[in-house]
Structure 1
Amino acid sequence: MADHEDHEDFKPSMTPGYKPGAQKTAAELANLDAEDESLARWKASLGIVPGASGGDTSGPKVTVLTLELHSPTLPSGKKISFELSDTARLADTKKHPIAIKEDVGTFVCITFKVNHSIISGVRYIQVVKRAGVKVDKLEQMLGSYGPHPQGQAYSKDFDTDHSPSGMIARSGTYNVKSRVVDDDGNVYADFEWFFKLAKEWE
């Protein structure tokens, strides 16, 4: 049952009538309709310019690098961030969950690189459970991006959420499963982390 629930939780929402177009590399897109100036400006804003490298298209289109948790109430100098390559750090949150202050606004930010092609229909899905019961779900699109000309990473902030408050909310650990997936079901990141609620940031 749990596997079925997880599958349904992470199934991307589909827009009725929407059909993804054929995939093209950055180089192919850069040379498409090259005489259209407005289209050229739009493609340039995505990092798709003539001479763009098609790159190695055998790997994933997207590599997710970090996840950060932000809040305007965080003490100066305090940062909550994970390198997704640091699986030991993520796993450690099960024994030592991150402390999040109750009753404050928080939001997730991810950094990622686009390796080849142009991405669209890629979204971040986050499901929060407590004692095995789903208490929150976030699903948001990343937007449209192409490979950055200098190979730099992009960052994306998601909507602000409000942390629960009260003794009951503070009495357990919350399990978060995060996934970056596209409309075709290709998964670019899939990771798990844990947090607890506290009266103050720790």
Structure 2
Amino acid sequence: MQKQEEDEFAISNTPGYKLGAKKTVDELANLDAEDESLARWKASLGIVPGAAAADSSGPKVTVLTLELRSPTLPPGKRLAMDVQNASVAKDPFVIKEGVEYNVRITFKVNHSIISGVRYVQVVKRAGIRVDKLEQMLGSYGPQPNPYTKDFDPEESPSGMLARSGSYSVRSRVVDDDGEVYADWEWSFKLAKEWA
């Protein structure tokens, strides 16, 4: 069973893409120093020569919130989960059927540069996988302010069958090297109206 779960979270790879060797921030800062556009890109990730090394204790990435956003939500209504809160799996979100929504993830990069970071989610109903979403988040450098990424809009399922029962979701934030930064479970139900 463990092997099957890991297979469900296998990230898709681009044919011909090869991961580069791991380098320290100082090695990256001094690499191709004469290339101005590369220097600007590296500076946007916090890679500058002689930068003080950040405290590398604790997780590289902390996922703060996962939010479902929809123009059909009643005014003042917000569907956001604190990923650090253990009760997200027990208290299902109620999502209106047949509406357009999108997912927003907010996370903080604490130290080190992260590259090829993806959000992967597997949705199951009655133990059977019904959907898998894989969204590229990108590459980021450490900074005190959190990053926010909005996913492409989707439409929630509709109909009596979709409304019967609840859906369990397992979400992960992982990089190209397979390092898992966050792994949590949550659930939702579909209804005729927002709850």
Q: TM-score, normalised by structure 2?
A: 0.91
* Within-5 A mapping of 1:86-125: 86-88=85-87, 90-93=88-91, 97-125=92-120
1:43-122 to 2 correspondences below 5 Å: 43-88=42-87, 90-93=88-91, 97-122=92-117
Partner of 1:154: 147
Q: Secondary structure at the match of 1:152?
A: coil
Greater CA drift, 115-124 or 41-50 = 41-50
Structure 1 residue 51, shift from structure 2 partner: 4.4
Provide the rounded CA distance (Å) in 1 between the counterparts of 2:22 and 2:62.
18
Q: What is the Cα deviation at residue 170 of structure 1?
A: 0.5
1:175 aligns with 2:168: yes
- Point out where structure 1 has 5 or more consecutive residues left out of the alignment: none
**1:78-127 superposed Cα distances (whole Å, 9 cap, x missing partner):** 11111122113x1332xxx2110000112211111122232212111011
Please give the TM-score of this superposition, normalised by the length of structure 1. Answer: 0.88
Structure 2 unmatched ranges of 5 or more: none
Equivalent AA in structure 1 for residue 166 of structure 2: T
1:135-188 alpha-carbon deviations (Å, 9 max, x no partner): 11100111111112xx11101111222111111111110111101112222111
Q: Which residue of 2 aligns with 1:185?
A: 178
One-letter code of the match for 1:114?
V
User: Map of 1:115-154 to 2, 5 A cutoff?
Assistant: 115-148=110-143, 151-154=144-147
CA distance in 2, matches of 1:166, 1:6: 29
CA distance 1:116–1:24, shift in 2 (3 Å): farther
Instruction: Say what the alpha-carbon RMSD is for the aligned residues.
Output: 1.8
Tell me how far apart the structure 2 counterparts of residues 19 and 59 of structure 1 sit (CA, whole Å): 28
CA distance in 2, matches of 1:37, 1:3: 47
Using the alignment, how far apart are the partners of 2:52 and 2:171 within structure 1? Answer: 31
More strand by share: 2
How far apart in 1 are the matches of 2:56 and 2:24?
Answer: 8
2:194 equivalent in structure 1:
201
SS at match of 2:52: coil
Question: In the alignment, residue 164 of structure 2 is paired with which amino acid?
Answer: S
